[in-house]
Amino acid sequence: MTTTPAERIGGWLLAPLAWLLVALLSTSLALLLYATALLTPQSVTALGTQPMKEMVLWFVSFAFAIAIWYYTFWLVIAFFKRRRLVPKHYIIWLLVCVLLAVKAFAFSPVSDELAVRQLLFPLLAAALLVPYFKRSSRVKKTFINP
């Protein structure tokens, strides 16, 4: 009985990997901003003067940022290890990114032009990469490790 080795990460799979690494970098920077807000005395006092509802929302947002960073980090490691779960979790990760972009579009106090630009990239990535991860034979040959 012969087995064929898994294909290396290459070709069009480099684009989703790059998207994942850039997202990991951006979420790391976001966590750094949250951490600096918790470590500087001026930010802590400013946060303390906010109404309780605003403080709770800030800490919920911080918890979601930690969760997204952890999930992205786990997915990067699984991607490099070519785990079998990667295609399913990458699609879930893309959909979570779209949901976060829609949330930012609907609830952030930024201009509509900026919000649409922030929504455009996750939507475009999901529209291109979800069908690729579902139908590509290269994806099926690459992600075979348990």
Predicted TM-score (pTM) of the model is 0.84
Does residue 29 belong to any structural domain of this protein? yes
Does residue 4 belong to any structural domain of this protein? no
Domain range enclosing 83: 11-142
Does residue 51 belong to any structural domain of this protein? yes
CB contact at 8 A, 49 and 106: no
Q: What local confidence, expressed as pLDDT, does residue 16 receive?
A: 92
Q: What local confidence, expressed as pLDDT, does residue 29 receive?
A: 95
Q: What local confidence, expressed as pLDDT, does residue 4 receive?
A: 54
Q: What local confidence, expressed as pLDDT, does residue 1 receive?
A: 43
Does residue 64 belong to any structural domain of this protein? yes
Number of H helices, E strands in the chain: 6, 0
CB contact at 8 A, 32 and 88: no
Does residue 1 belong to any structural domain of this protein? no
Q: What local confidence, expressed as pLDDT, does residue 113 receive?
A: 82
**How many domains does the chain divide into?**
1
**Positions in the chain short of pLDDT 50:** 1-2
